[in-house]
Chains A and B, each alone.
Chain A
Amino acid sequence: MVKVEGLHKYFGPLEVIKGVDLEIREGEVIVVFGKSGSGKSTMLRCINFLEEPTDGTIQIGDMKLSGGHRNRRKREQIRQLRIQAGMVFQDFNLFPNMTALENVMEGPVTVKKIPRDQAERTGRETLQKVGLAEKAEQHPARLSGGQKQRVAIARALAMEPKVMLFDEPTSALDPELIGEVLQVMKDLAQSGMTMIVVTHEMGFAREVADRMVFFNDGVILEQGPPADLIGNPQFEQTRKFLSAVLEGTN
């Protein structure tokens, strides 16, 4: 479903990703974790070309793309790729000039050219799914952080993507608001959505992830089912990081 091959990313002279290969099957839920600066978020952003891959290819479904000069044709291909991948940001990035419903309808109406009344119907259904049907007419400024993030998830879902990318979706939230967002993500995983989640929520990972991927210094150091990776990490770095994270949460 999603395939990252030979990915390298430089920011100027700094190599942030040093050769990453990752394949995700349909319906698989992957949790990516690792120290900040290890390249996990950058990889996620490379998958929908918010960052230009310096080298390597990204495949979603049967669309395969690599980095390079963005001419008109390339821009259109990137756009098509992005439509396949729903993205959820750490800072929500809702459009403050639109209501929750308008945020959710924006992609279908403007990008997919779906008629307004139809988009509104599905938009309300999607908001219902994240438990915010009654907030449809509110502007983001009137929503709590958890509600904002749920609207952001609905906005991404409304495009009917093949894969959902979550970039530390609960890091900017107050502790008491994290649960509602994770619950929506769990429901989504149970519905069979393919998901790549960058997070340090180990409880969520243990419960929902099919596979965990540990990033260290720009490469995938270790991966496997949560039980194995959390229970019996093979590398010292993984062990250290896990104990630090688990200490923080317990």
Chain B
Amino acid sequence: MAEAPQRSTEEEEEANARRRAFAMAAAYEERKFRFRVALVWLAIFIVATVFLSMAKFDWGWMIDKAPQIFKGAWVTLYISFCSIILAIILAVLGALARLSKNPIAYGVSGFYTSFFRGTPLIVQLFMWYFAIPQVALNVVAKFGLPSSFYRASVLSAVLAGILGLGFNYGAYMTEIFRAGILAVGPGQTEAAEAIGMTYSQRMRRVVLPQAFKIIIPPTANEFIAMTKDTALVGFLGSTLFWYDPFTYGRTLGTLDSRFIEGLLVAASVYWILTGILTFFQTKLERKLAKAYARSNVDEQSADVPSRSQRWFSLGGGGGPGGGAGMTQIPEGGDH
């Protein structure tokens, strides 16, 4: 084997110095850009504050009521967590059914995704809350069932909200999961079949673990979108204990004729919440992108641009280059 000619250390050092200089210049340009973007944000906030103050905005009221309205964030998170778990279960089942050759499974899942994606979420929420008890009442009357059956069908607003959001998002996420499972590729299925695995072993051990890696980032996106849609649950009427930020802000604002103030506090609850969640999502995405990475070298070289990705995606949710390196799969659609 022919040895590559040794480069002199001097030459190497010079090359290294040049590389470092380039990296520093790039980093400086990036910091300068970030600083300017921050100035733009600050300017928008100042203009908005001045404008609102001129319109006799009641800042005192907002500060006064904020703690109460912010407490609603727990309701938002509770409903979101329960709904996303239901949605994930439905999406796994729905996706497997969409990919199956069984006409019953395929048909049922097709109907499910078509109906829940084809009708407005708010209509579905009202159906869970109002329509089901009505149907149950008629069924109880017609077949002489015990009235406990009817009572069970009257859902609390929160439970109806969880079911409504879970079924709706589950339908969208069925498509995400289906694409994720397909992205694993036929070779993996064949390899698993060739060593004699059954369908369920193949799914559990080989296909789904790989699919989940692809599915997690878009699922996190759905979760963030869902936190905002929990505001719709407020329309079902809530018990005081279960007020979400939107209902809190709206109700308190109406009582004191401070509409904009109440809504703005409510909006900032969701805004801060999605900001925090997006931050964690970006971290998670980068961690997943590194899973089974080819070598340490890749991880190191990926470090420089990723810092800017984190910063950008905090503001706008997947700004320039957000989530680079992840497999792109179609999202369920707009909500």
Contact = CB atoms under 8 A, between A and B. Distances in A.
A168 B190 CA distance: 15
A120 to B, nearest CB: 16
Contact of B196 (A82, A140, A142): A82
A243 interface: no
Contact of A111 (B187, B201, B210, B213): B201
A159 B195 contact: yes
Contact of A159 (B188, B192, B196): B196
A181 interface: no
Given A95-B206, A141-B292, A141-B294, A156 B195 contact: yes
Nearest to B209: A97
A107 B295 contact: no
B55 interface: no
Contacts of A91: 187
Interface residues of A, number: 29
Nearest to B192: A95
B292 A110 contact: no
Given A91-B187, A93-B188, A95-B206, A139 B292 contact: yes
A155 B295 contact: no
A79 interface: yes
Contacts, number: 70
Q: Which of B188, B190, B195 has the most CB of A within 10 A?
A: B195
A7 interface: no
B194 A106 contact: no
Contact of B191 (A79, A94, A141, A159): A94
A155 B206 CA distance: 14
Contact of B292 (A83, A96, A156): A96
Nearest to B197: A111
B198 interface: yes
Contact of A110 (B193, B201, B294, B295): B201
B34 interface: no
A75 B188 CA distance: 19
A111 B193 CA distance: 10
Contacts of A95: 188, 191-192, 205-206, 210
A89 interface: yes
A93 B195 contact: no
A75 B198 CA distance: 9
Contacts of A94: 191
A126 interface: no
Contact of A80 (B193, B196, B197, B213): B196
A235 to B, nearest CB: 33
A76 to B, nearest CB: 9
Interface string A111-150: 1000000000000000000000000000111100000000
